[in-house]
């Protein structure tokens, strides 16, 4: 095997294939040289990192988190499109039923992402049973992460992923509303505006109204906060 390249006899994880698709699409839909060069380097890094080293390669975690989310949504009746390179530079990763959105796995990016001037951000879960964005990765083992399961090609329960995804973002929505009602200058959500509340609620409703969410559990509108959501399943 030539040093620096993935062993061609090694089966490529599905999320790596999807991550490459995302990068190639963005590179081909942007005219800015510095952006294209940056993404080309990321593509090279992704292509040359052995599968067993993916988890330790933290600079790829954001992209791989996007790939996990994209594969998850593609199993539903939700229409999802990868944003162009120009979109990516503007803060748009995907279009969900035509609605522009950003996604992140970074718990330390709330202050940056929740700004009235930005598009809606969905926080995707890193580990099983995650309840909120501020969940330090040191409190659980890598064997309990969605990323590690996808790297290993293990069965990933989409229902667990959906519940964790909704739980985290309903928590963010609750905190955005609290900040709007009672502004706190030193809050991580100090830059939140009414559009952040409405846009995040729209994304959550798209998920809930899809076929990902069991009909037997469609009980009112969880984004109203007075209905709640049973995440014990």
At residue 192, the pLDDT reads 77
pLDDT digits (tens, 9 = 90+) for 106-148: 766 666 677 776 788 899 998 888 887 765 554 555 558 899 9
Residue 65 maps to a domain: yes
At residue 9, the pLDDT reads 47
Q: Find the domain containing 133 and state its range.
A: 14-224
pLDDT digits (tens, 9 = 90+) for 163-211: 999 999 998 899 888 888 888 877 777 777 788 889 999 999 999 999 9
Residue 45 maps to a domain: yes
What is the count of structural domains for the chain? 1
At residue 127, the pLDDT reads 86
In order, the DSSP letters of 26-91 are HHHT---HHHHHHHHHHHHHHHHS-GGGTTT-GGGHHHHHHHHHHHHHTTSS--EEE--HHHHHTT
Residue 6 maps to a domain: no
Residue 160 maps to a domain: yes
> What confidence category does residue 10 fall into, taking pLDDT thresholds of 50, 70 and 90?
low
Residue 9 maps to a domain: no
At residue 189, the pLDDT reads 75
Residue 230 maps to a domain: no
> What confidence category does residue 1 fall into, taking pLDDT thresholds of 50, 70 and 90?
very low
Residue 127 maps to a domain: yes
Residue 2 maps to a domain: no
């Amino acid at each position: 095997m030539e040093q620096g390249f993935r062993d061609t006899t090694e089966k490529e994880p599905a999320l790596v294939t999807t991550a490459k698709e995302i990068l190639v699409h963005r590179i081909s839909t942007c005219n800015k040289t510095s952006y294209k060069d940056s993404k080309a380097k990321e593509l090279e890094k992704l292509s040359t990192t052995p599968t067993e080293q993916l988890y330790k390669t933290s600079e790829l975690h954001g992209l791989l988190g996007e790939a996990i989310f994209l594969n998850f949504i593609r199993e539903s009746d939700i229409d999802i499109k990868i944003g162009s390179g120009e979109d990516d530079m503007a803060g748009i990763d995907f279009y969900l039923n035509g609605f522009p959105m950003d996604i992140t796995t970074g718990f330390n990016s709330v202050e940056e992402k929740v700004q009235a001037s930005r598009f809606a951000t969905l926080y995707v879960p890193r580990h099983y049973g995650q309840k909120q964005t501020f969940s330090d990765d040191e409190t659980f083992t890598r064997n309990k992460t969605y990323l590690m399961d996808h790297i290993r090609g293990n069965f990933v329960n989409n229902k667990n992923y959906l519940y964790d995804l909704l739980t985290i973002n309903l928590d963010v929505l609750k905190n955005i509303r609290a900040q709007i009602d009672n502004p706190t200058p030193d809050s991580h959500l100090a830059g939140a505006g009414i559009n952040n509340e409405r846009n995040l609620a729209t994304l959550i409703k798209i998920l809930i109204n899809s076929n990902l969410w069991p009909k037997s559990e469609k009980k009112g509108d969880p984004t109203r906060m007075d209905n709640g959501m049973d995440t014990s399943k």
